[in-house]
Structure formats: C-alpha cells, structure tokens
Structure 1
Amino acid sequence: MEVRNIDQDELDALLALNEDHFNDVKSKRINPGKLQETFVAFANSDGGDLYIGIEDKSETGERVIGFGEQEDANALISTLLEETNPAVENVVIEFLEVEGKGLILHFGIPKSPKVHYTASGDCYIRINAAKRKIKGDRITQLGYSKGAEPYERRALDNVDIEDISEGELLSRYMERVGTHLLPEAFLRKQRLLTKKDGERVPNVGSVLLFDDEPQATLEKRCAVKVYRLRTTETEYKREQLEEMPVTINGDVESVIEKTVNQVTKYIDGASFQDAGKIVKLNYPSEALKEILVNAVIHRDYSLNDDIHVRVFDNRVEVQSPGKLPGYMTLENLYDERFSRNPNVVRMLHNLPNPVNHDIGEGLDTAKNELKKAGLVDPIFYEKENAFIVTIKHQKVASVEDVILQYFSNNPSSSISNKLVRQLSGEDDMQKVKLALQKLRAAGEIKLEDENASAFNYRYIKA
C-alpha cells in the first residue's frame, strides 16, 4: 500500500483541519466497528476524507500517534473494506508517514450511488460533523435520492393497468414510435409495470409518462411553478411577483413544453439597467430548454415538492427537488453521467425529435449555447434537498477587459499571451495576440522589452 512522506506544513494543515461534513480524524485506538459507522456515513452522503492516527483537538498532549507499521492497521482496513455491505467502490487508501510519529491511515471515500450498511446491519449518513443512524422509510428515501432504488419503478396499487393502457397518451406515444405491440405488452417490455403481491401494476414512471394528471394520481406535489419577479435582488418579496405563480401539471412531455413556453413568455419583456442602459433578457432558446428539461426528467419524484422556476429581471433560477444522485457532484457535472429516472429519460429519448439529449449532453449544450451568445456559464449549487441552476444575463468579459482588469489589480506587473489565455479562458492564441495589439495601439499597454523576440513579448501598463 502506498506510503507518502508528509512535511511539517502538510501535517500542520491536517492538525488544523476542522471536522465537518467532508473531513474527520480518529484515534488509532478506535474500535473498527465504530470507525465503520463513520466510513458508511461518508459513503452514504457526499463522500469525504477520514484520517486515523490523529487524536481529537480536545485531547491534551501529542496529537499524532500513528501506526508503528502498516500491519497494525489491518483490522481497521479489513472491517471497512470487507465487512461494509455492499462494499464501497473506488476508495483511496494511503499511509502518511510523519517522521518520528508513525503512520497516519487516510481513506478517501467517494460519494456512492448505493446505500451502505455496517457489519451489524446499521445505516448511517453524515450530517455536518456528525454521523446519524437512520432506519425504515428514511433508508428508502436515501435509496431514492441516490438513484440506487429508482422511485420511478415503485408499484402503484391505486392505479389499474387499464387506466394507462387504454389512455390516449399511451396510444399516441405507441403510434409515434411505430410499435405494433398490445398496450399492456408494450408497458411490460418498457419496464413500466412492477410486480406487487404477484400482479403487475403500473409504476410511478408509467404514470409520469402516460397519466393525464400524475400529480393527482401520485397524491403529491410534482408540478412546475413558474414565477415572474420584478427585481434583480437575491432576496425577493412576495409583493415583487408580477402575478400569481403559474402552476403547470400534466404528463412529463407536455409539462416540459408548457414550461418552456411560459418561461419564454416571461423572459420576453424582462429587462434591467446596466451602467444607465436598459438591457433586455435574451437567452439562447436551446440553452434555456435544456436546463428546464433536465429539471423535469432528473428531479427526485419521491419528494413532495414542485419544481420552481423564477424569472427575475436579470436572471432565471430553476430549483429542482433532490440533490445530485449517485456519484454525481458539482465538480463532475459535465464529465459524469447518471440518471435518477432512467425509464422516463429513455422513453422520451425514443421519440422522434425527442425533447431530451442523451444523458449528460443537455448541460453541455446549454453551456455551449450560452458561450456562443457571449453569456457566462450557468451556475450550479445544492441547497438543503434541492438542486439549483442560475442562468445570469451576464456577458463574458472580452479578452481586452480581462487584460485591463489584470493591470487594474496588478499595476506593476507584466502579462504575456499565455497568461492572458489562462485568465480569460480563450484558447485561441491569435485572438489574444490581436487583443494585445489593439490595446497597445490604443496606448493602454506597451512592451516591457522592445528588443524581445515576438515569442517572448510581455506587456506592461502604459
């Protein structure tokens, strides 16, 4: 197993570490079963780093009391890796060697798409700097939120198969995809029926797709509410509502269409003042659509809440119930793929001219379309039990603006083509060169060394 020597600076950083939602330190004397509770809590939540061989801050005396050799930690490693059910995948394990103080055992625990239990069968989650044991419905809810147990496959015994199989929505869908199967056989093949008490009954996914009023059938709030707020402030008041929120119900495909239309209507005419000028909202329609589609098809339908879309004078905020599922994080949104409602996503994608791209491509499309329009990337964050996307009507700074801002903050420094590209995100060397030449011609900047070769040009404030 890897052993890495750490210097005093890295050790000081470890000792200064505050135990929080993502970090914890434990004594090497900890019981393996107790340590497993924390290990499981991290995996069931958002992942984190666990260091063993460091005494708590409240303890007096030497805080680093590490393992004498790797074998001394075998019982802990075995319990965490072999007795956690199911095993947590992609755990990073290393020993940190501190001169004269032994080995600190470090576990890098990823956010897991599964629900994990200790050897004794208990389930824990991480809440701030503590672990919390959960039972029953709370474990079920955890599975839904992770996507480990898709809520869309939950059987609904209050719905007859005929309510779905004989409905107009299913009939139209089957005609559009060109199938000749009987309706019930089609539903069964598409995994839209789930066994319960020996019988197949419609599940949540079939209701979301083919029920005229899924909100009434599921007996929970799962519509979309669209607000128009006359303000640019972060904190808004009810009196800033232009009118009462519009509530959009129906099957997922029609909800998407109606939501896009309503938001487009509100954006038309929305404006704000910038440096004394009136700026009208004008978002690329494809970017707006992709973000709204994602909110509807990837939300957590097990939560009793609506999607909230707020159109402000200078931005659009889309709040979707449920945090990111599985191993998805804010950092890997554009790189990883995970669907909380795979059947709903697949069924919509099978249609001619589908409303949704392949999993994960929607956000890429939104980002690229905003970039083409000269607007900043969408902003993502999680709040309590919701995922929020903010689309700001904010222009990307030009390369020239980036250069001038750099000299405003660093008046005595110099800048190169490479540094400008790093600061601006503009990869085209020629575009940066032209921007530098333009500012030089305008007398804003000048060469630091007139005799330098073109490849070594650096510029300073004129």
Structure 2
Amino acid sequence: MTFAPFTIHKLIASGENETIEFKSGFNTEVIISLNAFANTHGGIILIGVNDQGVIKGVEIGSETLKSWINEIKQKTYPSIIPDVLETEIEGKHIIGLYIQEFPIKPVAFQGRYFKRVKNSNHQLTVDEISMLHLQSFNSSWDYYTNTLHTHSDISIQKVQKVIERLQSRGLTIDTNPSTFLKKKELVRLDKLTNACFLLFTENDTVMTTIEMGRFKSSTNIVDNARLQTDVVNEVEMVMNFIKKHINQAIIFDGNIENTIQWQYPMDAIREIILNMIIHRDYSMAFDSVIKIFDEKIEFFNPGKLPNGLTIDKLISNDYISTPKNKLIANLFKEMGWIEKYGSGVQRILESFKTAQLPTPHFEEIAGGFRVTVYGKSVVDNVTDNVTDSVVDSVVDNVVDSVVDNELKVLNLLKDNQKLSAKDLAKITDLSPRTIQRHIQSLRTKKLIKRIGSDKGGYWEILST
C-alpha cells in the first residue's frame, strides 16, 4: 500500500502523540509501540523519520518488509499484522506501519503488555491486564462466578427487599428470589456471581470494607467506623456517617416544616458514594476510605480509571462509561439510584457549581482514585469550633439557623423538656460549659423558654 507525500508531512506536523510515533529504523521498540497501539486506540509508526520529525529515510531490500512482518507476528500474541504503507520523498523511503485497535485484548509482546499514554508506551499492571480482558468481552469482574461462596452465604431477605423496591417503581419483577437472581444473571449455572455475593451477603466480608473517619487534623481522629456489609446497605450507612459529621443549618422560613441546609450538596455526595461502589476494584486488597475534615471530604477508592480514560476526559464528559461492575451498576440503575452511565460526574460538578462551592478535585493516586470536595467557607469560618457556632446569613430569607450540636440540644429538649444541662452534657459528650452556651443561644433566639425553677422546672419549646 502507498500513501501520498502530503499525508506524510501532515502526520509529521502533528508530532508524536497517542496514535503517531516516529522511528529512524526498525527495532524492538517498533513492535512494542505496535503492541501499545493495538491495546489502546490503534496508531501508525513512521519508519525513516527521527524523533525531531526530520525525514531521514530507511534502506529497504526485497525481503525487508516481509522480514519485519514475520518478526512482528512471532513476537506478539495474539499475532498482529500491521498494514504497510510506503512512500518516497526526495529519494528517501518512508514506511508506515499502521495497526488498528485489536478487538480481543490485551495483546502481548513476548509475555509483556503495553498501552499507549500520550506519546509514550507504558507496561500494563496485572490489574490493568485483567480489566482490559474483561472489557474486550463486554464483561466485568462482578459477572464471574464466585468459587468461594454458596447460596447459604447470601440473605434471601435482602434479595426480597430489593425485589420489593423494584416493584414499588412499577417494574415487572419475578417475586421468587431464586428466579429473580437467575434472570438478572446474578446466579449462573447455580453458582453465585461476584455481584450476587457483594449485593446480598448475609455476613460481613472484608471484600466490601469501607473505612470512615472524622478528622480534626491529619493525625487527630475524633470518630471512625468500618463497614463490611452488603453494598446495597452500605450506600445509606455511608450517607448517615457523613451527615453525622458535617455541618447543617435549620432554616426557619415560616413554613410548617423547616428546611435543612447541609454543608455540601447531598445529591452530589450520594452520587460520589454510588460511583465508589459501582467502580471499585473489589479484586484489590485495598479498602475504600472516606476522610471527613472541617472543610473538605476525601473519597478514596481502589482501582484506577479504565484504560484510555483520563481525568480531563472525565471532567469534560468526553468518554463512554464502562462500569467496573456492570451487574451492580445495572441493579442500581433499576433501583433508581443512578440515571444513566457516564452522567454522574457531570451531575456532581453541576451540583457544586449551583451551591457556589469549589469544583471537586479528581486524581489517580496510590493504585486508586480519589475525589476531594470542599465546603463553603461561610459555613467553616469559625475554625475548630464550627459545629458549636451559629451560621448567619446562610441563604436569603433566613430567619435564623442552628448548627450541628446546637441542633442536637434542641431536638433532645423537644423529646424530653425536663433534661438538665448536666443531663444534656452526659448524653452528647459535650462539656457543661458548651451546653450552657448552646442553651443561652437557643434562649436568645427565642426557640426555648425556661418554665419554673432550675430543679423542678422544664423547657418550653417556642418554635419547631
């Protein structure tokens, strides 16, 4: 095959990138680059062009090209055969070796596997090799049968609850748990899939471990929890832990029911949690980790982005979503927890923009993926005592607002109007001095009023 000289000049002008590489001559690096192209998006190697894009030409004999192709075939598995493109510019031979993305991946070069990242080749890790193989068969890790667990290891009650949820959404679902699991391919050949075990495990399992902590500094942990249950229940359990440790304001706007404003947009936080569970690499030994600080939350998840997906493409929505765990993603979608694949990041960004909060930060780190979100400075500007302070002017039409521990005091008094400051301090683990400050603040706001003496009286709730 041949291609026109002007095409060569156009390719050279583009420079080396994800799909173009220059080589002065044929060598092992040429085959490695072809291997990387085959495992990524395909590409072309121009032989006879140096690294600076200067045309040097290459000597070609009658058997040269045949010899190159045979060597490429012998050193790759499955064998790849590039298209050969030839041209001559000012008496200099230029050879182009073009390879399409291979349909069944990964392709190996003498037992090693490579991928193309920008203008260089990178050797694939074991996890990347496994994921690339699953993706090429349009499958995922959670689809495979679990050889370590049996039907006795899952909870039929948990299965039934999911069935009831799907029915409540108007879906036609087989109510027999056994039939349901088979139709959803959660059980195949009478064996649990990895997804089935993760979704409905009867007992705690280290496979689903999520470590959560509330930090006052990088080394000072004031509360922590560890989840090791099924991934369905983990969603709400993580949400509850986060709500327990972030700021909230009650907005008294004259309506019967008051409005709670959280420090972060909770729809976006929930989306991040769902993405963690759906895209987690459960084959890795690492745990998911959530760290809550005064001014930010960090979400770390084992497993990097799929091959070829970058942070820039993720943020710009320039990609097609490929969930690491398709069966879990499918069930969550039917349950109404996710809308469609690939839209979650955009909803997260839009929610933080609407809330006038800093843009979340996405990064690959330590064999995994981390998302960091930041709270509004107006909520966090009282340093370490923020949860004991009143937040003024949170939104327009705010009549008053009460934050975190002060809200706890108010709710406790609504439940038992005879509680003393000493009782409240014992229940909340706050100091008596802090309790007195909250009580005085609530009285100043005319939310509570003392009726009778300190010993025999009670608290009247003036506004709820």
User: What residue is the counterpart of 1:369 in the other structure?
Assistant: 351
> What is the rounded CA distance, in whole Å, between the counterparts of 1:249 and 1:327 in structure 2?
31
The C-alpha deviation readout for 1:271-297, integer Å capped at 9, x for no partner, is: xxxxxxxxx982211112111211111
2:239 maps to a residue whose letter is V
Q: 2:156 aligns with which of 140, 150, 167?
A: 167
Measured after TM superposition, the shift of residue 332 of structure 1 is 2.6
Alignment partner, residue 340 of structure 1: 324
Specify which of 190, 193, 196 is matched with residue 203 of structure 1: 193
Q: Deviations over 1:6-57 (max 9, x none)?
A: 499959x66xx9xxx99865343336xx733432245547988855334579
**Contact 2:248-2:263 at 8 Å conserved across structures:** no
Q: What's the % identity of the aligned pairs?
A: 23
For the Cα contact (< 8 Å) 1:300–1:322, is it kept in 2? Answer: yes
> Counterpart of 1:265 in structure 2: which amino acid?
K
CA distance in 2, matches of 1:374, 1:92: 53
What residue in structure 1 maps to residue 178 of structure 2? 184
The Cα offsets for residues 215-234 of structure 1, whole Å up to 9 and x where unpaired, read as 25xxx4x3212222334xxx
Residue identity opposite 1:371 in structure 2 = K
Provide closer, same or farther for how the CA distance between residues 377 and 134 of structure 1 changes in structure 2, counting only shifts above 3 A: closer
Report the equivalent of 1:227. 213
> Given the superposition, is the C-alpha separation of residues 267 and 50 from structure 1 closer, same or farther in structure 2, using an over 3 Å criterion?
farther
Shift of 1:242: 3.1
Aligned ranges 1:123-142 → 2 under 5 Å: 123-126=112-115, 132=123, 139-140=129-130
Matches of 1:310 and 1:109, distance apart in 2: 43
- Partner AA of 1:183 in structure 2: P
Q: Which residue identity lines up with residue 266 of structure 1 in the other structure?
A: H
**Contact 1:26 1:52 (8 Å CA) reproduced:** yes
Q: 3-state DSSP class of the match of 1:207?
A: helix
Amino acid at match of 1:325: P
Q: Distance in 2 between matches of 1:288 and 1:48?
A: 39
Change (3 A) 1:326 1:138: closer
1:53 matched to 2:48? The reply is yes
CA–CA separation in structure 2 for the residues paired with 1:255 and 1:330: 26
Q: Is the 8 A contact 1:316 1:390 kept in 2?
A: yes
Partner of 1:291: 272
Q: Answer yes or no: is the 8 Å Cα contact 1:145–1:325 preserved in 2.
A: no
**Counterpart contact for 1:115–1:148, Cα < 8 Å:** no
Who wins on radius of gyration, i.e. which is larger?
Answer: 2
Contact in 1 for aligned 2:139/2:326 (Cα 8 Å): no
Structure 1 gap segments, 5+ residues each: 232-236, 271-279, 396-462
**Aligned Cα root-mean-square deviation (Å):** 4.7
Q: Is 1:388–2:388 an aligned residue pair?
A: no
The alpha-carbon distance between structure 1 residues 133 and 190, as it changes in their structure 2 partners (threshold 3 A), is closer
Do residues 30 (structure 1) and 27 (structure 2) align?
yes
Q: CA deviation at 1:206?
A: 0.2
Aligned to 2:235: 256
In 2, Cα distance between equivalents of 1:225 and 1:264: 16
User: What's the offset of the Cα at 1:191?
Assistant: 0.8
Cα 1:56/1:158, change in 2 over 3 Å: same
Which residue, 321, 341, 344 being the options, matches 1:359? 341
Whole-Å separation in 2 of the counterparts to 1:87 and 1:329: 28
Q: Choose from 198, 218, 221 the match for 1:241.
A: 221
Aligned length: 350
CA distance in 2, matches of 1:168, 1:175: 11
Preserved contact between residue 115 and residue 124 of structure 2 (Cα < 8 Å): no
Distance 2:47 2:115 in 1: 18
Answer whether contact 1:310 1:318 (CA < 8 A) is retained.
yes
Partner of 2:459: none
Shift in alpha-carbon separation, 1:326–1:193, aligned structure 2, 3 A = farther
Shifted more, 382-391 versus 253-262: the winner is 382-391
Residue 322 of structure 1: CA displacement? Answer: 0.8
Corresponding position: 1:329 with 2:310: yes
Distance verdict in 2 for CA 1:149–1:338, change over 3 Å: closer
- TM-score (norm. length: structure 2): 0.60
Deviation at 1:162, TM superposition (A): 4.2
Go from structure 1 to structure 2 and tell me whether the alpha carbon gap of 1:370 and 1:187 turns closer, same or farther (over 3 Å shift): same
User: Does the 8 Å CA contact 1:155/1:203 hold for their aligned counterparts?
Assistant: yes
- TM-score normalised according to structure 1 size: 0.61
Shift of 1:172: 1.5
